[in-house]
Amino acid sequence: MIKIQIIDDIRAQIPFEFMMVVGFSLIITISLVISFADSNELNQAMTASRTGALDGSISDGLAIYPMDAFNEYNMGHVRLLNPASVKILKIDYINQGFSQKYRKTKIQLRIHASSPHCTDKSDRNCMGDRINFYARKKICETFHTENLTNTFFNPAFSNNYVFTTTDVRWE
């Protein structure tokens, strides 16, 4: 014969300990979700800038430009009208802290590129401007903030960040 013994928990320690574990787990989970959401937004913006920079490098590499850029390059940067290889090496960023002007955290992107066929500094500046333009544009398209910026997408906005670019570093 098997005896079943029921233990009365008069002091209610088991539910109290359970509630403590659940409470701490909930606090930790909420804090992790908030920090992951912020870093996810930054990762998403960096991915968008990488895609945009690649679009800009393809445009530069294939010498495909809008008509106004083509006319400008035809006058002063004839070398850019011929195809050349442009490679995006890396993109890093500098967190410049909270911007009172925009009420968001300001991030400055720095794109590193390489183009062995183009050695003229002014031509590289033109190529770099196009690469930066496409990087900022893609960030705005990703976060649907095209209406918050100017025609050059400078600065580019996400929900919690404002993005600017510095001159492309050529290596």
Contact at 8 Å (CB) between 77 and 55? no
Higher pLDDT, 161 or 32: 161
Higher pLDDT, 2 or 153: 153
pLDDT at res. 142: 95
pLDDT at res. 141: 95
pLDDT at res. 9: 53
From CA 46, how far away is CA 93, in angstroms rounded? 9
**DSSP classification of residue 131:** H
pLDDT at res. 76: 85
Cis bond before residue 155 (omega within 30° of 0): yes
pTM of the model: 0.78
In degrees and rounded to multiples of 5, residue 133 shows phi and psi of -55, -50
**DSSP classification of residue 97:** E
From CA 129, how far away is CA 166, in angstroms rounded? 9
Instruction: Note the pLDDT tens digit of each residue in 109-153.
Output: 999 999 988 888 999 999 999 999 999 999 999 999 999 888 889
Instruction: Note the pLDDT tens digit of each residue in 43-53.
Output: 999 999 999 99
Contact at 8 Å (CB) between 93 and 46? yes
Whether 86 shows a pLDDT value over 80: the answer reads yes
Instruction: Note the pLDDT tens digit of each residue in 5-53.
Output: 555 555 555 677 777 888 888 888 888 777 776 678 899 999 999 999 9
Q: In the chain, where are the structural domains located?
A: 41-170
